[in-house]
Each structure stands twice: as structure tokens, then as C-alpha cells.
Amino acid sequence: MGALDLSIFSLGSLFIFLLPILYISRYLKLGINKSIIFSMGRMCLQLSFVGLYLEFLFKLDSPWLNGIYLLMMISIACYSILKSSRLKIRLFFKPLFLAILIPFTIILLFFNGMVVRIDNLFEAKYLIPIGGMLLGNCLRTIIIGLTNFYSGLKKNEKEYLYSLSLFNNRIQALKPWFRESIVAAITPTLASMATIGLVSLPGMMTGQILGGSIPIVAIKYQIAIMICIFYTEYFSVILSILFSLKKGFNSFDVLNTDIFQKDYS
Amino acid sequence: MISFESISLDIDDAQIFSGLNLYVNENEKFLIQGRSGMGKTSLLRLILGFEQPKSGHITINGLPLDKTNIYQIRKQIFYLSQDIDLKDEIIIRLLTEILEYNFPSEPPLKKINNHLTFLELPQGILQKRTRDISGGERQRIGLLIGLLLDRPIWLLDEPTSSLDDAMKEKISAHVLSLNKTIVIISHDPVWKNNSKVTIKRWS
């Protein structure tokens, strides 16, 4: 069982279609040929590297190494979230790391232990791909959440301060921005859960079916993973905003001005 | 009650004022006048801890304004900002939230109606959103919140600018008769034509 292997030559045959694309873009002066080649090249390179690395990781299957690999993935996720949210990495890395680590670990281990019921909770075959799916989805959610929260506050700072004067409590005064950013962050996932299966078959299911699982098993995994993604996103976005507050505000509860990356104005 | 000792304030590296000394006694009605852009609003923001002075000491009701006292200090202050920056919400819901939060045991919701009559606002305004009412109505809703909260120190930034003359008279007379320490920034002559007021001309 398992999908047929692809030879390097047959994989390479896919690049035939790149020729007309490059030609058309050039003819239409789209000016994106460089980016097309760059992006495709990076994708191939990164995935080949991960493939080699995963093969090594799966063969060794050391819980410690797998755990460290996940921590590294979280670190990269934090870095890229803060870069996209234009928040200073120096200030927010630690709180964000914790905000992801806590729900991520709980949900992932629950999935492995209670749902799939594997004996070794840190088994690479489950831990790493599932962990990657959870993280990949959290990335987008947290970016939306943090960006909404801090840019909204910056834009409406007077309104926040006025609420602060009326309620004399930071959390109470921040509630409208909390609500707004959490809802904005979670909505895309809710929408995709509501339409899943109608429009597209999710990648995980496709992979499992190709890998030889019968559809009903693939579906069960898909349902489980969607639920886990939603839970992880939900908790990590709330925690990432909560944990960021200490750095985001000064001791008088006023928004710090130097939390944004330099090019933000 | 409020004391500034040689306060200097910079905002974005530009000096707003320096070496400012100021004393407001308990129950005093203190009117600040001066051209716009001189930092009058910043003065109120300093009292609330929204801005930090570059140097000098601020004391409110005997408490030095610092991070350990800021909660105690803000609890005593009602602030009416120039644009009355209320969040967008249906007014009665906002009032209920504010009152339930500030008076958890018994929110004085019944008092709303008395104040509405005094401020000549219709009952129906409570069902509107804060963004959908006129400037004059917003100012009176702001004052309504102040009357309901009943805190001992009031900081009012242009509180009567959008009101008609009769209303300016009525409200200024009432505010000045309150048993509170009140700092007012206003260009309206109604405030200074009152013998109860200490006038500080800013230059």
C-alpha cells in the first residue's frame, strides 16, 4: 500500500508548463517572471530539504529530537508572525512563544494520546505532520488577531484612554478591541469549516487517500484535525493578545509607542 | 488637591511646556484660558497619567502620581475630553456598563432619567448609538456620565463648546455649584463671568 513513488524525471516533466507561463507573462509584461522562478525554486528547495530532514527524523524517531524540532517550528512561527504583524520581535517573542506553546502542546498530545491512541506520544510520524498543520493554521490566525488588536488600538487610542478613565481598568477598557480582533481572527476558520468538503477536499485527506487509507478513515482524521486546528487557533490567539499586554502597555496602562517595527508609521 | 511642581513635558521630542507650577485647592473651580496648541489638553492628560512629565512632581489629593497610585487617582477623576471619545455603542448599554462596573452593588440606573430631564435630552436618545448623535448631545451625554459617576475631581475640556447659549448658562451654573474640585478648559465666556471661578491665563 501507499502512493506510487514519483521519479525525478516525471516530477521534472511538470516544469514543461512553466515555459508557456513564462512566455505569456513576458508578452503581457506582467513583470512577475522573476518572482515565479524564485518562489517555485524556493518551494522545491525547502521541501526537498524538509523531506531529507524528516526522513532522518523518522528513522531516528527520538522523542527528544522530535520535541526540539517542534520547538524550533514554534520559534520560526513566532518570528514570522511578528514580522507580518510589524511588532518588535525583541519585545514580543517570549510572550508569543508561550501563547502558542501552551495550547499547541496540550491539543497535540491530546490528539496523539486520546484520539489516535498511539503509545509513544512523541512518535515522529504523527507528532511532526500534525504539529505542522496546527502551527501553519495558527500562523494566519494570530497575525490577524495581533495586527487587528494593536493597529485598532493605535488608531483609536483616544477612545481607549477615555474608556480607561471611565472604567479605571485596562482589561475592561480593552474589551471592544479584544472582541473585534478575536472574531476577525477566528472567522476565516469558521467559514472554511462550514464549507469544507463541498468545494475542496482538504490536503490531509487527499494525502491519506493517496497513501492508501480508506476514505472513511481519512474523513475521521480530517474531522479530528479540523477540530484541533480550531481549538489551537482559538486559545493561541486569545493568549497571544493577553500575554502581549505586559509589553504593549506602560505601567500607566497607556499603549507603548515603540512596539512597532521601524518601518511602521 | 492637584499640585504641579516644576513640570516639564515633551511630546515627540518637542517641548510643550517647562517649569510649570500649579495648585488647585479642594472644591476650587479652576478655569484655564489660552490660545489653542499651548498644551492645555496635555495638562489634563498629565493628571490622568496618559502622558508622563519629563521632569517635576504631580500630586493628586496627597498621592504622588506614579504607577502604584494611578488606580487610586483615576478612581477619583471624571474626565470629559474635548471630542467626548465614547466608544461606539447604544447609549443605554454604555451607561449600564459604566454604572454596573463602577457601582457593582447598586448601579444608580434610576438617576439617569432625572439627569436627562435636567440636561434637556429626550428619553429616546438612550436607544441611539454614541456615533449617531450631535456634538451638543454628546457633550450632554458626557456630562450625564459625570453626574452619574459623581467622582470628586472633574477635568472638563471645552465642555460647552457645542451647546446653545441658554444651555451653556444652565450647565456652567450647575457645574460650578457642585461640591467638587473642577478644572475647566474653555473659550466660552460663561465660565469666567462667574465669581466662583479662579482664572488662570496661560501664556
Using DSSP bridges, classify how beta strands B29-33 and B181-185 pair: parallel, antiparallel or unpaired: parallel
Would you state the pLDDT for residue A42?
Answer: 93
So what's the ipTM on this one? 0.93
Which amino acid, residue B49?
A: G
Would you state the pLDDT for residue A17?
Answer: 94
Judged by average pLDDT, the poorest of A5-14, A91-100, A152-161, B148-157 is A5-14
Model confidence pLDDT, tens digit, residues A156-198: 999 999 999 999 999 999 999 999 999 999 999 999 888 887 8
Q: Is the C-alpha dihedral spanning A252, B65, B108, B144 positive or negative? A: negative
**Residue B203: band (very low, low, confident or very high) from pLDDT cuts 50, 70, 90:** low
Q: Which residue reads 485527506 in cell numbers? A: A205
Q: Give A102's contacts (C-beta < 8 A, 6+ positions apart).
A: A235, A236, A239
Measured CA to CA, the distance from residue B113 to residue B123 in angstroms comes to: 8
Residue A265 has pLDDT above 50, yes or no: no
* φ and ψ at residue A189, rounded to 5 degrees: -65, -40
Closest Cα in chain A, distance from residue B87 (Å): 6
Q: How many contiguous H segments (helices) and E segments (strands) does chain A have? A: 10, 0
- Of the candidates A140, A70, A103, which has an alpha carbon nearest to the alpha carbon of residue A242? A103
Cβ of A158 and B101 within 8 Å?
Answer: no
Measured CA to CA, the distance from residue A70 to residue A132 in angstroms comes to: 8
Long-range CB pairs of A125-129, under 8 A, 24+ apart, other chains included: A125/A58, A125/A61, A127/A66, A127/A70, A128/A54, A128/A57, A128/A66, A128/A69, A128/A70
Would you state the pLDDT for residue A201?
Answer: 74
- Please, what is the average pLDDT of chain B? 92
* φ and ψ at residue A33, rounded to 5 degrees: -60, -40
In angstroms, the first-to-last Cα distance of chain A is 56
Question: Cβ–Cβ contacts within 10 Å for residue B177, how many?
Answer: 11
Q: Which residue reads 524540532 in cell numbers? A: A69
Cβ of A162 and B85 within 8 Å?
Answer: yes
In angstroms, the first-to-last Cα distance of chain B is 23
Residue A264 has pLDDT above 60, yes or no: no
Which amino acid, residue B160?
A: T
Closest Cα in chain A, distance from residue B182 (Å): 16
Model confidence pLDDT, tens digit, residues A59-117: 988 989 999 999 999 999 999 999 999 999 999 999 999 999 999 999 999 999 999 99
B53 Cβ under 8 Å from any chain A Cβ: no
Interface list for A 212-251 with B (CB within 8 A): 250-251
**Residue B71: band (very low, low, confident or very high) from pLDDT cuts 50, 70, 90:** very high
* φ and ψ at residue B183, rounded to 5 degrees: -105, 125
For A220-228, what is the mean pLDDT? Answer: 92
The whole model's pTM is what?
A: 0.87
- Which of A161, A166, A251 best probes binding to B when mutated, by most B CB atoms within 10 angstroms? A166
For B168-194, what is the mean pLDDT? Answer: 91
Q: Is B194 helix (H, G, I), strand (E, B) or coil?
A: coil
For B31-51, what is the mean pLDDT? Answer: 89
**Which of A159, A166, A252 minimises the CB distance to B70?**
A252
Cβ burial, residue B25 (10 Å; 0-12/13-18/19+): exposed
Residue B83 has pLDDT above 50, yes or no: yes
Would you state the pLDDT for residue B125?
Answer: 95
Cβ of A161 and B52 within 8 Å?
Answer: no
B77 Cβ under 8 Å from any chain A Cβ: yes
Q: Is A16 helix (H, G, I), strand (E, B) or coil?
A: helix
Closest Cα in chain A, distance from residue B55 (Å): 16
- Which of B75, B76, B85, B153 best probes binding to A when mutated, by most A CB atoms within 10 angstroms? B85
Q: What's the residue count for chain A?
A: 265
- Which of A162, A178, A255 best probes binding to B when mutated, by most B CB atoms within 10 angstroms? A162
A7 Cβ under 8 Å from any chain B Cβ: no
- Contact assessment for residue A224 and residue A181, using Cβ atoms and an 8 Å cutoff: no
Instruction: Identify the helix (H) or strand (E) that includes residue B186.
Output: none
Q: Is the C-alpha dihedral spanning A34, A37, A39, A42 positive or negative? A: negative
Measured CA to CA, the distance from residue A171 to residue A242 in angstroms comes to: 9
Q: Give B94's contacts (C-beta < 8 A, 6+ positions apart).
A: B86, B87, B130
- Which of A252, A257, A258, A265 best probes binding to B when mutated, by most B CB atoms within 10 angstroms? A252
For A3-25, what is the mean pLDDT? Answer: 91
Instruction: Identify the helix (H) or strand (E) that includes residue B38.
Output: none
**Which of B49, B67, B101 minimises the CB distance to A167?**
B101
Would you state the pLDDT for residue A198?
Answer: 80
Closest Cα in chain A, distance from residue B45 (Å): 10
- Please, what is the average pLDDT of chain A? 91
**Residue A244: band (very low, low, confident or very high) from pLDDT cuts 50, 70, 90:** very high
